[in-house]
Structure 1
Amino acid sequence: MKVIDASGLILGRMATRIAKLALQGEKIAVVNCEKAIISGKPEITWKEYKKKLDRRSGTRAGPFIPKRADRYVKRTIRGMLPKKHWSEQSRGRKAYSNIKCYVSIPETLKKEKIETIKGASVDNLKTQNYITIKQLLNYVKGGK
């Protein structure tokens, strides 16, 4: 099992690499999900996420938007997997079942070797316009 530390990594770049590893059959655990980075102006990111949340439809019809950091990251990774025929035998669904996401580092994974993903670091950004997932979800919940 590969354990990947998401702190300081750009969410989209990290998600594509994790999806690729999962499609190859690897079991992956992503830790520190709330410290992952979304690049772009924070105000625009907040508005886009809030717009998704404010969308109303019939009773319990969805869309169901994640409000926890680990579920937000896992949902982003799911968007990078193949969607055709999302049945129990599909490649995408099997790969999705190999991915586990955690807000912090659980006791069971503390002894494992924790890796990072090259090329997905926040240091590669040219500007300092970014927001962490924790900040985004706190803002949407009403915090600052």
Structure 2
Amino acid sequence: MDTLSYKTISANKATAQKEWVLVDATDLVLGRMASEVAKILRGKYKANFTPHVDCGDNVIIINAEKVKLTGKKWTDRVYLRHTGYPGGQREMTPEQMMKKSPERFIKKVVKGMLPKNRLSDKVIGNLYVFAGAEHNMQAQQPKQIELTNLNK
């Protein structure tokens, strides 16, 4: 019996087949959208998923300013950060973050859904967020997907 046929083949950077995916965030719930996008970025939906390799797709999110939050999360949720100076703790609500920069807010939420390791820093680089419907990634010819139909 040939034992070579039973070896598990792991994907690496050279063999990973990356695609470009377009997601329209209009009227999507933020957390549900972010978790699905994180799975696509990691490559969890692919048959050749390898946990220690960046084998996920590149994701473009458009209409980031039209995302929804349920309940009173726009005003009641608080994100904390620290400037590094004494008394430098700052807090912002999602409403304030969306007014300042919807792109950074969506990226922060998706990064929170990724594992906390060095690979997540590389994987989050494959995410491109645009506040409006226009994006400058037409040359990559992304295919548009519906996140609601992804698991079915």
- TM bucket (normalised to shorter chain) is 0.5 to 0.7
* Structure 1 segment 85-100 matched on structure 2, within 5 A: 90-100=118-128
Which residue of structure 2 lines up, in the alignment, with residue 118 of structure 1? 148
| Residue identity in the other structure for 1:46 | T
User: Structure 2: any 5+ residue segments left out of the alignment?
Assistant: 1-19, 44-55
Deviation at 1:10, TM superposition (A): 0.5
Change (3 A) 1:7 1:56: same
Which residue of structure 2 lines up, in the alignment, with residue 5 of structure 1? 24
Which residue of structure 2 lines up, in the alignment, with residue 123 of structure 1? none
Calculate the TM-score normalised by the size of structure 2: 0.60
Deviation at 1:95, TM superposition (A): 1.1
Number of aligned positions between the proteins: 111
Deviation at 1:100, TM superposition (A): 0.6
Change (3 A) 1:26 1:53: same
**Structure 1 residue 22 corresponds to structure 2 residue 41:** yes
Assess if the C-alpha contact under 8 Å between 2:34 and 2:109 holds in 1: yes
Change (3 A) 1:64 1:82: farther
Change (3 A) 1:98 1:63: farther
* Structure 1 segment 73-112 matched on structure 2, within 5 A: 73-84=106-117, 90-109=118-137, 112=142
Between Structure 1 and Structure 2, whose CA radius of gyration is higher? 2
Q: Equivalent of 1:58, from 78, 85, 106?
A: 85
User: Structure 1: any 5+ residue segments left out of the alignment?
Assistant: 85-89, 121-144
Identity across the alignment (%): 25
Assess if the C-alpha contact under 8 Å between 1:33 and 1:69 holds in 2: yes
Assess if the C-alpha contact under 8 Å between 1:10 and 1:37 holds in 2: yes
- Structure scoring higher RCO (CA < 8 A, sep ≥ 6) equals 1
**Structure 1 residue 70 corresponds to structure 2 residue 103:** yes
| Residue identity in the other structure for 1:74 | K
Question: Which structure features the higher share of helix residues?
Answer: 1
Assess if the C-alpha contact under 8 Å between 1:6 and 1:116 holds in 2: no
